Structure 1
Amino acid sequence: MKNWAAIDILKGRVVTLVKGDPSTSTEWETDALEAAARWEEEGADGLHLVDLDRAIGSGSNGEVIQSVLRAANVPVEVGGGIRSVEEACRWLDLGASRVVVGTMAFEQSEKLRVILRAVGPGRVAVAVDFKENRVLTSGWRQTESVDILGAVESFGRLGVETIIATAVERDGTASGPDFNAYSALRGIGGIKIIASGGIRFPDDVARLSAQGLDGVIIGRALYEGTVRLAELKGI
């Protein structure tokens, strides 16, 4: 299982949120380049960069993300407000190993098909954010009618190979992952599932690995030091 270090960027700074609410942001005394270098050195398999300003429609941190892409020596996936084919392709051209699309995938499935055809399914992940098994979009502000299982099955039929499933109620809370949800998702159509939200300790990562997940995104636990990437090698 691959361990992805989260770097969420809000107004140019590295932050973590609680349940996706920007008003709860904790700003860390590091910039994105420093954080990327640190997590890479400590053994991250990849970096998960999110432009929170783009996600909520309040600006852009494009230059910050580009600086990380230029410096990184591990795979970097980029997400946050990607709503066009051109933008997705631009990030891949700038060095992202994969783009993460969310709201667009739900609202404009034809654009998702175009991206998948243009760059290949291996370079696209779909973010499926959920609360009480219902899917949230538009920066976690809108609840969709589809449940998480239905969403993953639907994207599988479109040719999506990787889903990043975020348990919104757990995100940034250090309350533990939603193991039941991830167990249900695992094995749907052979889709790779990356878990996000609620990681507290290395044991959480080990349990997700034992469930057969393909990856985990770790945020607050890294910044607070309750998880160290070196401890996860071999899990």
Structure 2
Amino acid sequence: MFIIPAVDIKNGKCVQLVQGKPGTEQIVLDNPAKVARKWQGKGASILHVIDLGGALEEGGNLAVVEEILKEVSIPVQMGGGIRSLDYATKLLDMGVERIILGTLAIMNPETVKILSSEFGSERIIVALDSKDSQVVVRGWTEKTDQNAPELGKIMEDNGAGGILFTNVDHEGLLGGFNIEPLLELLNAVNIPIIYSGGVSTLEDLSILSKTDVYGVVIGSALYKGTINFEDALNYEKIS
């Protein structure tokens, strides 16, 4: 189980939002590339970068992503506002190790097949963001009529190399999470699943380490200090 620190970017800064809602910034740091370099220095083996500005259609932060790619040598998985094949291709060509497709993949699963065929399925992750048990899109602002296990199977069939499952109901609240939706998804698909949402204590990591989850993204808990990153890495080594 990989411990994956989150670097969420909005207006050129590293931020942490509550449940992805604009205006709920709890952490605002000026230099995302410096933050990324810090996590690498502490021992991170993967970095999770989300362009919140792109996801919310407020304008992207591509220049900041480029700066992060120059600053770190570990793999970067990146999502947020990837709404076209051209932009997905651009990110993969510029050095993003794995792109995270949300709205684009769910609205048009064929794009997953196209990108997986061209770049390799291991570089294509599909984000399934669940709110009230239904998958949401467009920066968590619109609900679909499908749940994560249903869409997970569709994405696996179309060549996705992994799934990022975010429990939006718990995102940014530091209040723990409900394990059941994750277990249902793990039982439904055979590709790697990365979990995100509500992870706030080492006990949460202990629970996740007992599942077959591939990795866990941690944001607010690291920035607010409720989880010490070096302590979290102990679960990466033993699981």
TM-score interval, normalised by the smaller of the two chains: over 0.9
Q: Which runs of 5+ in 1 are unaligned?
A: none
Cα distance, 1:30 vs structure 2: 4.2
Q: Secondary structure of the residue that 1:126 maps to in structure 2?
A: strand
Q: Secondary structure of the residue that 2:17 maps to in structure 1?
A: strand
- Tell me the equivalent position of 2:216: 216
One-letter amino acid of the structure 2 residue matched with residue 192 of structure 1: P
Q: Please provide the CA RMSD for this pair.
A: 1.2
Q: Secondary structure of the residue that 2:136 maps to in structure 1?
A: strand
- Tell me the equivalent position of 2:197: 197
- Matches of 1:107 and 1:183 in 2, distance apart? 25
Residues 99-135 of structure 1: CA distance to partner in whole angstroms, max 9, x if unpaired?
0110000111222211111111100100000012100
Residues 53-84 of structure 1: CA distance to partner in whole angstroms, max 9, x if unpaired?
11111111110010001111211011101112
* 8 Å Cα contact 1:16/1:27 also seen in 2: yes
Q: Which moved more, 1:170-179 or 1:180-189?
A: 180-189
Matches within 5 A, 1:172-191: 172-191=172-191
Q: TM-score, normalised by structure 1?
A: 0.96
Cα distance, 1:222 vs structure 2: 0.6
- Matches of 1:11 and 1:35 in 2, distance apart? 15
Q: Which moved more, 1:108-117 or 1:219-228?
A: 108-117
Q: Secondary structure of the residue that 2:175 maps to in structure 1?
A: coil
* 8 Å Cα contact 2:7/2:47 also seen in 1: yes
- Matches of 1:133 and 1:154 in 2, distance apart? 17
- Tell me the equivalent position of 2:164: 164
- Matches of 1:161 and 1:178 in 2, distance apart? 25
Structure 1 or 2: more strand by fraction: 1
- Matches of 1:164 and 1:20 in 2, distance apart? 15
* 8 Å Cα contact 1:70/1:95 also seen in 2: no
- Tell me the equivalent position of 1:9: 9
- Matches of 2:120 and 2:26 in 1, distance apart? 36
Q: Which moved more, 1:23-32 or 1:67-76?
A: 23-32
**1:226 matched to 2:226:** yes
- Matches of 2:88 and 2:41 in 1, distance apart? 28
Q: Secondary structure of the residue that 2:25 maps to in structure 1?
A: strand
One-letter amino acid of the structure 2 residue matched with residue 156 of structure 1: E
Cα distance, 1:187 vs structure 2: 3.7
Q: TM-score, normalised by structure 2?
A: 0.95
- Tell me the equivalent position of 2:141: 141
- Matches of 1:78 and 1:159 in 2, distance apart? 18
- Matches of 1:96 and 1:205 in 2, distance apart? 26
- Tell me the equivalent position of 2:40: 40
Q: Which runs of 5+ in 2 are unaligned?
A: none
- Matches of 1:102 and 1:178 in 2, distance apart? 22
Number of residue pairs aligned between Structure 1 and Structure 2: 235
- Matches of 1:45 and 1:180 in 2, distance apart? 27
- Tell me the equivalent position of 1:123: 123
- Tell me the equivalent position of 1:93: 93
Q: Secondary structure of the residue that 2:194 maps to in structure 1?
A: strand
